[in-house]
Amino acid sequence: MFLNSLNLISLTLIAATVSQTPALTPRFNNAIALDSYAVAQTTQLKLNNLLLKGRQYIQAKDYDRALASYEQAADLDSANPKIFSGIGYVQILKEDYDAAIKAYEQAISLTPDNPKLHYALGYSLGKSGENKEAAEAYKKATDLEPLNIQNHVGLGVVLLRAKEYDQAISAYQVVLALDPNNEQAYQVISRILIKQERYQQAINLLRPVILKYPKLAALQIELANILISQGNIEASLQTLETAKKNNPQNYSLYLSTGNALYQQGELNAALTEYQQAAKLSSNDPQAIAGIGKVYLAQESYFKAVVTFRNLTEIEPNNPRGHHDLGIALKARNRKDEAIAAFDRAFDLYEQEGNDKEAKNVTILIDEIGNDE
C-alpha cells in the first residue's frame, strides 16, 4: 500500500520542474545581463533534461541511471527539495534505505513542513529497523496532515514493531475514527489485545463490527482464533460457520474451520474443510499442509507422502514440508528418502536459526540409523 502511495507522490515531486526562470526581460542594459540570462536558460534546460531522463529511467527500472540523473540535477540546483525527494524515492526502489533517509532528511531541511516527506522518511527509517525514529517522523506527518489515514497507519505499523502496543492501539483507533470500515485496523488492534491476553476486550471490539459488517471474513477469523485461544472451540466453529454462509467462496474460512476441527480430533471433518480450502485456492500451501497432517494423523502414510511431496514442490524452502515428508516416508520404511527429506529440513531450519526443530530432525535421523 505504501509503495503505491509513495510512487504517486514521489513521481509527482520528481516530475515537477525546479523553480521557474524569471520572465524574459524586454531590454538588457548591458552584455553581462544578457550573458547571465543565457547561462540561466542553459542550466534550466540541462536540469529539465536530467529530470526527464530520471523519470524515464525509473519507468525502465534502470535505477542506477535514474539516481545518477537526479544527483546531477542536485549539483545544478542544490536548494530544490523535489530533487532530493526524487533521490530518496529511487533509493527506496534500490532498497538502499540508509541512503533514502539521508536524501529525505536533506529534502526536509529545505521544506520542513511537507508531510509527504516526513511520511517517506518514516517509511525509510522503518525499513532500516529504526522504528522509534520512524515513529517520530510519522508523528510529524500526522501533525502536518492529520486527516491523511496513511500517516496514522504508518505510525501504527512502526509502533507495533517497536512493541509500543498501547501507542499502536491509539494510532489505529485514529485510523478507525477516519475510516470506521477499516478491516486492517480492527485486525491489528484485536491481535495486540490477544498478545496482551486481553481476550474479552478483543471479543468486545470485534463482535459489534462483525454484526454490522458480516462480510468482513478476516475479522470473523480473528474472533474465531480468540475463542480457540480461550479453549472455546465450539463457539469458534459456530462463528466460522456463520461466516461461511456470508462468504461461501472465502478459502481462509474453510482453512480456519479445518484447523479448529483438527484440534478437536475430528479428522474427517477437518479433511473436508482443508480440501475445500485447497479447491477454492489452488495450491494454497496451508491447505495442502492441513490435508497432509490429517493423513499423518490417520496413518494414511502413502497419501501423506504424495501430499507433502506436492507441498515441497510448491514451497521448496519451507522446512516444515520436508520435515513432514520425512515423517511420512519413515513410516513407510523408505529410509533413504526419509533421511534425504530430513537432511533438507535440517539445512532449512539451520538457515532460519530454528535450533529446536533442527534438533528434532536430528533425533528422527538417528532413529532411522538405530533401526538399521
Of how many residues is the chain composed?
372
d(C-alpha 136, C-alpha 158), whole Å: 10
When divided into structural domains, the chain yields a total of 2
Does any domain span residue 4?
yes
Which domain does 365 fall in, by range? Answer: 289-372
d(C-alpha 186, C-alpha 193), whole Å: 11
pTM: 0.68
Does any domain span residue 221?
no
Report the pLDDT value the prediction gives residue 41, as an integer from 0 to 100.
Answer: 67
Report the pLDDT value the prediction gives residue 304, as an integer from 0 to 100.
Answer: 97
pLDDT of the chain along its 372 residues, tens only?
333 344 334 333 333 333 333 233 344 455 445 445 455 566 788 888 888 888 899 989 999 999 999 999 899 888 899 999 999 999 999 999 999 999 999 999 999 999 999 999 999 999 999 999 999 999 999 999 999 999 999 999 999 999 999 999 999 999 999 999 898 899 899 889 988 889 899 999 988 888 888 888 888 898 998 898 888 889 999 999 999 998 999 999 999 999 999 999 999 999 999 999 999 998 899 999 999 999 999 999 999 999 999 999 999 999 999 999 999 999 999 999 999 999 999 999 999 999 999 999 999 999 997 765
Cβ atoms of residues 326 and 342 within 8 Å: yes
Does any domain span residue 209?
no
Q: Which of 60, 86, 112 is the last residue of a domain?
A: 112
Question: Residue 37: CB partners within 8 Å, gap ≥ 6?
Answer: 24, 25, 28
Does any domain span residue 73?
yes
Q: Which of 59, 86, 112 is the last residue of a domain?
A: 112
| Cell matching residue 21 | 526562470
Supply the angle between the helices 301-314 and 285-297 in degrees, to the nearest 10.
160
Q: Which of 53, 85, 112 is the last residue of a domain?
A: 112
Does any domain span residue 356?
yes
Does any domain span residue 125?
no
| Domain CATH for 90 | 1.25.40.10
Which is it for the CA torsion 135, 141, 142, 148, positive or negative? negative
Does any domain span residue 106?
yes
Does any domain span residue 68?
yes
